[in-house]
Amino acid sequence: MSESDEVKSLAILIVNLGKKKRNENLFKIAEHCIKLKERYNSWTKVAKMIKISDKRSHISAEMLREFGAIYTLPDEVKQMIKDGLITSVDIAYRLSLLKDKDAQISLAKIAVDKKLSASDIRAIIEYKLKNEDVTIEEATQRVLESKPKVVSRHIVIMELSDETVENLKKRAEKLKQPIDKLVFDLISRKWNKNWLLSFGMRDSDIIIKVSEEGFRVLQQEAKELQVEMKDLANTIIWKELKEDG
């Protein structure tokens, strides 16, 4: 390695290491790390040469070692890194911890396909290392199934017109049932109870809790009927009342 090449490698590492946004591809950075390591035969010596700023004097040898681990990965995984499909050094390093090359390739493909985070990869590899008899696919499934799921819920308030309320009162009186039960029965004909999670009524307001799927359905119905969502229940109930005579 010539002196000019050394200066170039150091410059690239100084510009790119310790930052979230890098100018160079992850594999290219690893390449320059390896070149300097081969020259000085020590990650610690190389680390001391890379001064980032006055606040953070040096990059750690451990960080350089993680970049260097990229070079131990199978060619297929290296190509994913070169192509920018894997951009996290943490993911690349964790993949190198797997003993089996086929497992490294499989998990790399899964990481790209499922857009897994570094913490996902870390958990999958830890599970795999503790359970050597399971496949990478099985380890991935078990880890992802165990993750807490964030479920969105929406509270939607819809208004009924005075005319609709009066007609509902007459119908409820005729059927000898509370008006809120009648309203729920009418909207349940149209809306799926699987995503209609709760229902309440206060004066002329309908208050419902729906799942993410339900909220998208309501948005689509309002769009098709060309009404605001707050008027959707009124439109549907009025139509149901007219059809029932």
pLDDT score of 39 more than 80:
yes
- CATH number of the 3-146 domain: 1.10.10.2830
Strands (E), 50-167: 153-159
Is residue 67 a contact partner of residue 78, using CB atoms and an 8 Å limit? no
User: What mean pLDDT do residues 224-234 have?
Assistant: 94
Of 47-51, 61-65, 134-138, 235-239, least confident by mean pLDDT is 47-51
* Range of 53-57, 143-147, 215-219 with top mean pLDDT: 215-219
pLDDT at residue 148, rounded to an integer: 78
- CATH number of the 153-244 domain: 1.10.1220
How far apart CA 57 and CA 75 sit, in angstroms, is 34
User: What mean pLDDT do residues 50-77 have?
Assistant: 81
User: What mean pLDDT do residues 76-93 have?
Assistant: 94
pLDDT at residue 184, rounded to an integer: 93
* Among candidate residues 156, 155, 147, 153, the one with its CA nearest the CA of residue 213: 153
Q: Round the average pLDDT of the chain to a whole number and report it.
A: 89
Q: What are the φ and ψ backbone dihedral angles of 195, each rounded to 5 degrees?
A: -110, -5
Of 10-19, 59-68, 69-78, 185-194, least confident by mean pLDDT is 10-19
Segments making up each domain of the chain, as ranges: 3-146, 153-244
User: What mean pLDDT do residues 234-243 have?
Assistant: 88
pLDDT score of 1 more than 70:
no
* Among candidate residues 36, 25, 34, 30, the one with its CA nearest the CA of residue 2: 36
How far apart CA 197 and CA 180 sit, in angstroms, is 16
How far apart CA 31 and CA 161 sit, in angstroms, is 70
SS3 157: strand
User: What mean pLDDT do residues 55-77 have?
Assistant: 85
What are the structure tokens assigned to 92, written together?
A: 């690349």
pLDDT 10s digits, 91-101: 999 999 998 99
Of 22-36, 128-142, 226-240, least confident by mean pLDDT is 22-36
pLDDT 10s digits, 174-211: 999 999 999 999 998 888 878 999 999 999 999 999 99
